Amino acid sequence: MFEKDMQNIFDIKESINKTINYTKDIHNFEQFEDNLLVIDAVLMNIVTIGESGARLSKDFRKHNDKIEWKKIKGLRNIIAHDYFGIDIEEIWQIMKYKIPELTLLIDEIIRKEYTSK
């Protein structure tokens, strides 16, 4: 695996951890919706996840196809280019369901990389 790919994976992991930390005390959509600072922080880190994912080599993405790289980049594009058209409830659903799933997959990639050496 290329060192550049692993650096991007670690950047993704860091942004995931930030979003989880920012929302750890938020238990429902209403609390999320009312906290504009947290929303902005989460959105910025989703953009970072999308940017880092886009920088991964094609071979890496192909080899790790359990992760929906195109959807991640697509969400990044929506946030970056249509900020006022973002569905905050959809972002909350992503935080509840997709981020935990992505965390497991990224952790698996990291674990494989460091146990294969």
Taking the C-alpha atoms of residue 110 and residue 112, their distance in angstroms, rounded to an integer, is: 5
Number of domains in the chain: 1
Domain that holds residue 68: 3-115
Residue pLDDT, tens place only, 4-47: 999 999 999 999 999 999 999 999 999 999 999 999 999 999 99
Please say if 81 is a catalytic residue: yes
| Entry pTM | 0.93
Q: Which of 27, 63, 76, 111 is catalytic?
A: 76
pLDDT tens, residue by residue, 47-87: 999 999 999 999 999 999 999 999 999 999 999 998 778 99
CA-to-CA dists, residue 73 to 27, 30, 37, 38, 117, angstroms: 27, 27, 23, 21, 30
Catalytic site residue 76?
yes
